[in-house]
Structure formats: structure tokens, C-alpha cells
Amino acid sequence: MDKLSFFNTLGRRLEGFESLESGRVGLYTCGPTVYSSPHIGNLRTFVFEDVLRRTLELFGYEVTQVMNLTDVEDKIIAGALAAGVDIDTFTQPFIDQFFADLDRLGVKPASAYPRATEHIAGMIAMIEELIAREHAYEADGSVYFQVSSSTDYGALSGIDLCNVRRGSRVQDDEYAKDDIRDFVLWKACKPGEPSWDSPWGAGRPGWHIECSAMSKALLGESFDIHCGGVDNIFPHHENEIAQSEGASGKRFVRYWLHSEHLTVDGEKMSKSLGNQYTLDDLVEKGVALRAVRYLFVSVHYRQRLNFTMESVEKAGSALRRLDEMCFHLTHAERVPAIRRERDLVTAAREMVDAFRGELAHDLNVSGALGALFGLVKEVNRALPDGITDAEHEEVRAALSTVDSVLGVLDSECWAERDSGDGDSLSDAEIEERLAQRQAARAERDFAEADRLRDELVAAGIVVEDGPNGTVWRRG
């Protein structure tokens, strides 16, 4: 059996994967800061983490995935104060949006979604431990982590803070730090801000300690894999390591995996450029959700993903090839036996082996998709001669194995052959829908075009787009 290997940011090399506990994986994935709706960059990272988790499951691991919600943080407090509401009221719509988006992109729910505001006691306990072990100090009601006390600081990011001038000031509310490199664990509150009681007076946690405390509460002091986007490497994850290892004296995380960013039309997303898209923005532009997931899944996680309308259209046509193959497979003539160069049972088994082998190698999706589309070609070539029951079953099983990771196939295409025999729609109705689909495509309303096609497919109509336009027949 193939063994999994991942590119570990800690050490920057490919490493064979061994879980701490046989057959089980603890996976911590930094979640959203809920002061606005997630943008498609955040969603790219969440989809990568979903593919990682599904791959681990494909390899037989039982995965406990934890994704936190950062629901107390400076931008949240500023937003809640500006809106004149408490932080729960302010964050709830963004939390709802986050869950709705994950669902729309077929992301499997994590085992737990701890909220920072529910883990304040654990954060305070960890800060007390850090003070006791002389990794942290209190100043004016705030507590800071003393970076000079951590021998390995910088190992993850490769950032060397030695040359940073001591004593310079960075932020007004952190003026009491001994050393500019130190970071805040607990912030004394300003009047009017939400706060919690602590041994150091009323205040709130710093962002980094939130993840250290929540991962400890749900996965223990040491666990297998920690993920996020590349912007999380420094300072967030570097600081998490310093805090968690400083408090426990144990190795925090074995493997660190980070996904590259998503850009739009080659530019970093930003409000000022007006290219900071949410999923709803894409849906409004007529982009199909399955095509978004396919696009995200098809680009290797350590490569920058440049989102363009063209790239999502290409993703849509790759999906159509898959859908059409699934449909033809379901509706192909069954024959008792057939002679061909390589039977589809063998082809399907070999495809699954190749697909797994490629994913095992640091989630090499392009290789995995190459194996899948190799089978698609072979099946399309074979189907006109009919297919045996055994071949049908094996190809179907292979596709569902593949889709347990990709999560992109359309269940409509799997509808059994007699669920729609094409009689439910008259020729005129079919022609009308095809014309509407053509019009929707011309207006680049691909979501509507896909919906119309799916409707036809569900009614048992085979729709084929060829060089001479679209043709159809009853399946």
C-alpha cells in the first residue's frame, strides 16, 4: 500500500507520514476570524484542508478535525463597537455565512468548531503555566510571551528576529513590552471593550493563544497535523509553537501543511481593488458552485491559485466530461460478455491505485486527475460496444472512491437508467430547454445553463456538445 508523505513546512521537506496513534489523526485547521463573510481565498484554504482530511480517510485513518472560530479579536471588537451591538450579535451572521459556504462547497463538517469565547478559562490556565515556567511576564494588566526564552523560535518560518531592535515600540497598546519581539498573550481592556476577568485584571486573550488553548482542549498537547494558509506561518503558527511547547514542554505538532494563496486575475485580493470576492459574488456572476470546488481541488495546494473567469469555465467543462461519462455509463447497453484489449474492471482498479498513489505523494492532484481522465477516455471508447455488469459495478465503485476525495460528481448523473426514460419531456420541451440553455451560456450564466442541463439529464436525455452544436437523444 502507498504510504502518505507530506511537505512539512517545519524543515521544508517531504516527509513520510506517521501518526502518533495508529490509525488515528488529530488535525487542527485555523478557522475564520468572523468579522466579515469569508472570501474565496479563505475558502480555497478550507477546501484544501477538506481534501487533506478526505485523503487521510481514504488511507484508512480516523480523523479528528478541529476548526476554531476566532470570535474575539481586535477587528471584531472594533466592528461590534461601530455597529453598537455585542460581539455575539455582530459575529453571528458571519458565522452563519461561513457554515453555509462550506456546505455549498461540499466541505465535510469538522469534528468540532470551538469558539474562542468558550475557551477563555483554558487560555488563562495556559498563560498562568507560561508565567510559572518563565516564558511570560505581566506588565500593566497585560501579559506578554518572552520570545528570548524560546530556543527554537523562528524554526517554522525561518524568520530570524535577532536583528530586530530591542525596546522599539510597535503598537500603542503594547507599550509595556520588554522587547519588541515579545507578543501579547492577554490584553488589558480599554474602557467600553468586552472583557473577561483574569488574575491580571479584566482583559481579553491575544489571537495566538486562542489556537494553542483550543487545540490542547480538543486534540491534546501533542497532535499530528496543523494547517492554514501561508500567511499563518508567521507570526501566528510560530507563536503557537512557542506558547504550546513553552507551556507543556512537549513537541506540539508533527506536520505543518500550508496552502498558497488565491489571487484574482493575478492580483492579491483587496477591498481597494474591488476584487475581494465572496462565494455569493461568484454565484451572482453565474458561476456554478461545483465548478468552484473543482477548480480549488484541481490546483495543487502549494501552488498559487489564480482565479479567473476562464479558469472556472475550464473547471466547468472538465466536470461536464465527467458528468457525461457517468451518464453514458449508467445508460449503456449491458452485455453478458465482451472482448476488448483491456477490460474495464482492470482499468478501473488500476485507475484507483494510480489515483491513490498520486495523492499519497503530497496530494498530487494533477497526477490523480490525470489517472481519472485516463479512465474516462477508456470508458468512453468502450461504451458503444456495451458493458458487462461487472465492469459497470467496478467503474462505478472506482468513481465513488475518487469522489470520496474530490467531492465533485453530480448525483443526478448516477440516476439509475429507469428513473428517467426520457418520456417525461416531449421533443418540443427538450428543444425549448436546450435553447434556454444556449441563451444562458451566451449570457455567461453558467449556473442556469448547468441547471437546465441537469434537468434534462435527470429526465433521461443524453446531451452532447460537439463541434457542430448540441445534439440530444433519449437515453
Binding site for ligand AMP (CB under 6 A): 30, 32-33, 41-42, 44-45, 228-229, 231-232, 261-262, 269
For residues 59 and 183, which CB has a smaller minimum distance to Zn ion in the complex? 183
User: Does the N-terminal peptide bond of residue 336 adopt cis geometry, omega within 30 degrees of 0?
Assistant: no
Closest separation between CB of residue 64 and ligand AMP, Å?
19
CB atoms within 10 A of CB 385: 12
Minimum separation from the CB atom of position 347 to ligand AMP (A): 36
| Amino acid identity for residue 36 in this structure | S
Q: Report in angstroms how near the CB of residue 410 gets to ligand AMP at its nearest.
A: 26
* DSSP β-bridge partners for residue 143: 138, 186
Cell numbers that stand for 85 in this block: 451591538
45 is in the binding site of which of Zn ion, ligand AMP, none (Cβ under 5 to 8 A by kind)? ligand AMP
Q: Look up residue 23 and give its amino acid.
A: G
Distance between CA atoms of 445 and 330, rounded to whole angstroms? 28
Distance (Å, rounded) from C-alpha 336 to C-alpha 158? 63
Query: What, of Zn ion, ligand AMP, none, does residue 231 touch, CB below 5 to 8 Å by kind?
Result: ligand AMP
Residue 262 site contact among Zn ion, ligand AMP, none (CB < 5 to 8 Å, cut-off depends on kind): ligand AMP
Contacting residue, 4, 10, 27, 30, with Zn ion by CB under 5 A: 30
* From ligand AMP, Zn ion, none, interface partner of 211 (C-beta below 5 to 8 A by class): Zn ion
Dihedrals phi, psi of 30, to nearest 5 degrees: -60, 130
**Cβ(407)–Cβ(443) below 8 Å:** no
Say if CB 408 and CB 294 are below 8 A apart: yes
Residue 6: CB minimum distance to ligand AMP, A: 17
Which of the listed partners (Zn ion, ligand AMP, none) does 376 bind, with a CB threshold of 5 to 8 Å by partner kind?
none
Q: Which stretch binds Zn ion (CB under 5 A): 136-144, 160-168, 210-218, 250-258?
A: 210-218
Q: Which is nearer to ligand AMP, 308 or 438 (CB)?
A: 308
Tell me 197's DSSP state: -
Between CA 447 and CA 457, with CA 453 as vertex, the angle to 5 degrees is 140
The least distance separating ligand AMP from the CB of residue 160, rounded to whole angstroms, comes to: 22
In the complex, the smallest distance separating the C-beta of residue 296 from ligand AMP, rounded to whole angstroms, is: 10
Name the 3-class secondary structure at 262.
strand
DSSP assigned state of 5: E
Output 206 or 460, the one with its CB closest to Zn ion. 206
Distance CA 382, CA 97 (A): 45
- Cβ proximity to ligand AMP, 43 vs 456, nearer residue: 43
**Rounded to the nearest whole angstrom, what is the least distance from the CB of residue 335 to ligand AMP in the complex?**
49
Report the residue number, 299 or 430, with the smaller CB distance to ligand AMP: 299
Query: Which of ligand AMP, Zn ion, none does 33 bind, CB closer than 5 to 8 A by kind?
Result: ligand AMP
What is the grid cell recorded at 421?
Answer: 426514460
Question: Is position 211 an interface residue for Zn ion (rule: CB under 5 A)?
Answer: yes
At residue 382, the 3 state secondary structure works out as helix
Measured CA to CA, the distance from residue 299 to residue 306 in angstroms comes to: 9
26 binds, among ligand AMP, Zn ion, none (CB under 5 to 8 A by kind): none
Binding-site size for Zn ion (CB under 5 A) equals: 2
CB of 2 to ligand AMP, least distance (A): 28
Nearest by Cα to 98 from 134, 46, 169: 46
